[in-house]
Amino acid sequence: MPWRLFGYILGDLLRVVALVSVVLVTVVAFGATIKPLANANLISAAQTARYLILVTVPMLQFALPFAAGFAATMSLHRMTNDNEILAAAVGGISYRRLLAPIAGLGVVLTLVMVLLTQWVIPQFWGLMEQTIARDVTKIFQASLQRGDPFDLGDLQIYADRLRVDEAPEPEEDPSGPAPDTRLYLEGVAAAELDKEGKIAIEVTAEAAVIDIYRREDGTVLNLALINAVAFKEQEGALARLSRVEHTLRVPRVFEDDARAMTRSQLLRLRERPDEYGPVIEARDDLAAYLRDLDHGNWIDLRLRSEGQVEFIEPGTAGRRFVVHANGLKDGRFLASPGEELVIEQFQGTFAVRRFAAENLSLARGDVMSLEGSRFKLLLRGVEVSDLQRGGPANPRRHLTLAGLSVSGLPEDDPAAQTSDELLQRAQAVEDPEPELLFRQAKLREEHRSIQTEITSRLWKRYALSATAFLLLTLGATLAMWLRESLPLTIYLWSFAPSVLDLIVISGGEQVMRDSGIVAGFVVMWSGNVVLAVLLICAYLRLARH
């Protein structure tokens, strides 16, 4: 075996691969940094530099195959024009043996790509996202300084002033865990957006406190609005609340983004899908509905047996609302024919107001709602009487009493159950409402989606890894065959199909999610098949001469 010749070819090839890789990675990494810079998510120059350094590793999955193909084209074309390849062929070394070290290097590069895409790059994706999303406090401060609202999922928060306490004490329970950071806000406005991006609930408050807890399983924000006024577009009514509490979970980088998961983490997630962020959200939605359904049944039984149920407004006001009705069905309180539905408001032990309504309904609080309540009472055609001062009743078209909990309600949290247990529990509900069926279907779809996501993500990484071998050997073969052409012209013959290959790999990943594993697999690997066919055709033409 001509080891000296092989060492010479590989040495020259590796030198050009390293040089081209550095240039491509630098250019592509800088391009990937532009978007965070434009969005002002990178707070400081140090974060920008850290992000730029981290992004170089993920960009290797794109730069390395193209650098290998370009290096093979340049090196072998130069050797061909210098008649080194011709001399080796005349000396009895076949083209197949000349391409053997290049093919061996292609196999090594493919293994390196597998290592990068399956284990190394996912961790760097996570570190990149942590760089711009880990410090919620600084991002919050930067947003307010620019006069922009702070966006987190479907929630937007704006404040006139902000004060940061880096060593806070627990606000209510001294024995509880202290938050890592506490934000004091003044002049607060918050909005919760619906699925169409429109404002569903709008809240203004004199002040707010945000406790930030940084844990291994993610960052949790506890938001408390003081003396708030809430407006819900759907109801067209205002509700004044002494205190609104809202819990936010910042998406976990490693658990909620399959791109930032290694192969072993993806396989583990396949066995434990309940640990995935979107599955957790769908499971919590179903659990909240089942919890509210159980609570509605409990309230109905309480009304049928005792004729009344007591609602309590959390906070220092200590207001209680006693509803007198015969039952509860489909969220509507029932009364005897010809009778009104009555609510008595108590301050301490004294009744201070009386609400007589033509229609009274109980609304379920959303899982993540700025209303901060599990229940709210919706009154229509209501007359409000002041029991202390007397006087005529004050008629109102509609009235909302929000932020209420039910006295004596048993604590049964279905959120602690697994997805399978919740689905079985939901399946046992007689005459399920469309909303329950929708949430069941959503949870099942999230389970199916994560399994497909894992499969598509793993196969996409293998398909990307295979391009390293194909581009390297195709570039070398074309350079030896098209010896009379310019190097860039030769590289174009492999570059154009390789770009299409990357497109169909990404397209195949999407097809795999939408149309099934088989169809997505065919699309995903079709680009590599085309490159392999071009490689075989080029080699056959080269061997013929």
- So what's the pLDDT on residue 360? 94
Q: Which residues of the chain have pLDDT under 70?
A: 1, 35-44, 130, 132-136, 152-153, 170-176, 195, 216-218, 232-242, 250-256, 314-318, 364-374, 545
- So what's the pLDDT on residue 37? 64
Percent composition of the chain: helix, strand, coil (DSSP 3-state, to 5): 55, 25, 20
Asked whether 398 and 235 are in contact (CB, 8 A), the reply is: yes
What residues form DSSP beta bridges with 398?
A: 380
- So what's the pLDDT on residue 319? 83
Specify the residue for token string 């929630």: 155
- So what's the pLDDT on residue 421? 94
- So what's the pLDDT on residue 216? 61
What residues form DSSP beta bridges with 347?
A: 319, 350
Alpha-carbon distance of 413 to 81, in angstroms, equals: 76
Alpha-carbon distance of 129 to 123, in angstroms, equals: 10
- So what's the pLDDT on residue 368? 39
Burial of 286 (0-12, 13-18, 19+ CB in 10 A): buried
Alpha-carbon distance of 467 to 453, in angstroms, equals: 21
> Do you know the residue count of the chain?
545
- Output the six-digit token pair for 327: 């039952």
- Output the six-digit token pair for 486: 């310019």
Alpha-carbon distance of 427 to 419, in angstroms, equals: 12
- So what's the pLDDT on residue 367? 38
Specify the residue for token string 């497109």: 503
- Output the six-digit token pair for 484: 């009379």
Burial 257-268 (b: 16+ CB within 10 A, else e): bbebbbbebbee
458: helix, strand or coil: helix
Helices (H), 172-226: none
Q: Please calculate the CA angle 519-522-528 and round it to the nearest 5 degrees.
A: 155
Closest CA to 72 of 18, 112, 13, 24: 13
CB atoms within 10 A of CB 207: 16
Asked whether 523 and 463 are in contact (CB, 8 A), the reply is: no
For residue 484, which phi and psi values (nearest 5 degrees)?
Answer: -85, -10
Burial 421-436 (b: 16+ CB within 10 A, else e): ebbebbeeeeebeeeb
- So what's the pLDDT on residue 193? 79
Helices (H), 134-258: 136-145, 253-256
- So what's the pLDDT on residue 413? 76
Angle of helix 277-306 versus helix 419-427 axis, rounded to 10: 40
Amino acid at 294: D
- Output the six-digit token pair for 516: 């099934």
- So what's the pLDDT on residue 217? 59
- So what's the pLDDT on residue 371? 44
Specify the residue for token string 């998406």: 251
Alpha-carbon distance of 282 to 256, in angstroms, equals: 13
The secondary structure of residue 172, as a DSSP letter, is: S
What does 382-451 look like in DSSP terms, one character per residue?
Answer: EEEEETTT--S-EEEEEEEEEEEEETT-----GGGS-HHHHHHHHHT-SS--HHHHHHHHHHHHHHHHHH
Specify the residue for token string 């650098």: 67
Asked whether 22 and 28 are in contact (CB, 8 A), the reply is: no
- So what's the pLDDT on residue 373? 45
- So what's the pLDDT on residue 171? 60
Q: Residues near 108 by Cβ (< 8 Å), separated by ≥ 6? A: none
Alpha-carbon distance of 12 to 508, in angstroms, equals: 36
Distances (CA, A) of 396 to 220, 320, 385: 40, 20, 11
Asked whether 515 and 523 are in contact (CB, 8 A), the reply is: no
What does 428-441 look like in DSSP terms, one character per residue?
Answer: T-SS--HHHHHHHH
Closest CA to 122 of 253, 252, 260: 260
The secondary structure of residue 365, as a DSSP letter, is: P
| CB half-sphere exposure, 243, CA atoms < 13 A | 13
Q: Residues near 59 by Cβ (< 8 Å), separated by ≥ 6? A: 24, 25, 28, 29, 32
